[in-house]
Amino acid sequence: MTDGEAGKTILLADDEPGILKLLKTLCEGMGYRTIEASNGFEAVEMTVRFLPDLAIMDGSMPVKSGFEAIQELKANLLTEHIPIVMLTGLQTREDRLKGISAGANDFLTKPVDAEELSLRVRNNLKIKEYHDFLKDHAMILEEQVRKRTMELHRTLDELVKAGELVTQGYLDTIFRLAVVSEYKDEETGTHIKRISYYTKELASTLGMDADFTEGIFHASIMHDIGKVGIPDSILLKPGALSPGEWETMKSHTESGARILSGSNSPYLKMAEAIARSHHERWDGSGYPSGLSGESIPMAARITNIADQYDALRTRRPYKPAFSHAEAVRIITEGDGRTMPRHFDPRILRVFSAHAGRFEEIYEEKKDG
Ligand code: C2E
Ligand code: SIN
Ligand code: SIN
Ligand code: SIN
Ligand code: SIN
Ligand code: FE
Ligand code: FE
């Protein structure tokens, strides 16, 4: 072992000594410390014991495969956030799919190319660094949070634009970013977690397929991610917004969509559509584009009603919490600001028929 860059350690796991040696030479050449395992069993043991900052792992290894090892490490709270780059052969779509479902964060093709390795390693370590930071964000002074959030925001944006990212392993990181965006008006992120459950419930009751239902569960949490750019003076204002403040507030839809744009990940594509269109209304009176009817993406129409129900149930700096019955009444009968014609009639019917499930979800997930 040599002293690594900023003390970072990488676990290398492969059953072929030649590959292990090459990886070691390349990683140490970049200034990182390395530890080695020659099968999946050792890989799990060493990861749990040494908590490396990154693991590079072959898929097929004796004793325990890389796929199994990844699955175990991702199911362990202690190690789930350690990024894992999986080594795959060239013609191995199936291996990649298996790797993704095991929880691999990224892939590296054999034969290993030094430049590609360096890119994957650096990107994944960077994500890990922000992840570690965000884990503690609630304990850090707000000013610092804001500064680092902006940085994260830029990095994520760059990575997504560069077409690196995003395998599903990063959803947790993105979830944490979403929490930060709600941080100022809601500390625990319970609102965005409940949104996942309401939207999934609506999607499955509406008969959407499994991909959509699973997708919206993950994607809807990011609906308000653009609020990260809205100043506290507006977000926390106890009263009504001035016309200028309202214009700024409305921009959270487009800026959220921008943060999430440019990815090939189906989750992020759906999240982008939701962020952009979750305040559009069926009758065309919403924002930012005044879309109406079915030109509003289905996922956004579903998130819209879920978001309103939860916003009504929750105390905001500008409004008190309403009871379940009151929230349902406002959505199904209207109160002037919200009107039934704002909602897709089919979704509104399903909401009315299953409002009891919303109350259950709210009560179950009230405290996180
Ligand atoms: P939010 O607080 O998460 O609210 C989401 C949506 O729930 C609102 O979207 C609105 O459709 C619905 N909603 C929330 N509270 C009420 C309510 O008391 N009555 C009715 N009928 N509907 C309600 P909207 O209007 O597009 O607002 C988007 C975001 O703008 C809100 O997100 C909130 O962050 C902010 N906002 C809206 N109005 C005010 C305000 O008067 N003061 C402040 N400080 N912020 C506001
Ligand atoms: C995870 O899958 O939750 C860990 C990966 C990450 O968020 O960095
Ligand atoms: C979480 O990671 O806890 C939120 C759900 C998700 O993975 O998107
Ligand atoms: C619908 O509009 O009812 C579903 C079609 C879609 O997925 O947008
Ligand atoms: C607001 O409450 O400031 C916005 C009013 C609306 O869109 O109905
Ligand atoms: Fe919103
Ligand atoms: Fe919201």
Ligand 5 pocket, residues with Cβ under 6 angstroms? 240-241, 246, 337
User: Are 205 and 351 a contacting pair, CB within 8 Å?
Assistant: no
The answer to whether 181 and 228 have CB atoms below 8 angstroms apart is yes
Q: Which two tokens stand for residue 299?
A: 């996922």
- Identify the pLDDT of residue 129: 77
Atom of ligand 1 nearest to the CA of 335: 21
Provide the CA 155 distance to its chain's centre, in angstroms. Answer: 15
- DSSP string for residues in 84-124: EEEEE-SS-HHHHHHHHHHT--EEEESSPPHHHHHHHHHHH
Helices (H) and strands (E) in the chain, counts: 17, 5
pTM above 0.85, yes or no: no
Q: What is the pLDDT of residues 215-263, one digit of tens each?
A: 898 889 888 887 876 777 888 888 899 998 999 899 989 888 877 776 6
Which is the closest atom of ligand 5 to the Cα of 337? 8
Give the number of the ligand closest to the Cα of residue 338: 1
Q: Coil, strand, or helix at residue 8?
A: coil
Report the separation in Å between the CA atom of 119 and the middle of ligand 2, taken as the mean of its atom positions.
Answer: 18
If you write DSSP's letter for every residue of 221-264 in order, what string do you get? GGTTGGGGGS-HHHHT-SSPPPHHHHHHHHTHHHHHHHHHTT--
Where are the alpha helices (H) located in 103-189, listed in sequence order? 114-135, 142-161, 171-182
What three-state secondary structure class fits 183? coil
* Ligand 4, atom nearest to 298 Cα: 8
Q: Would you report the helix, strand and coil content of the chain in percent, each value rounded to 5?
A: 60, 5, 30
Residue 159 pLDDT:
55
Q: Which residues of the chain have pLDDT under 70?
A: 1-6, 90-91, 130-189, 229, 262-265, 368
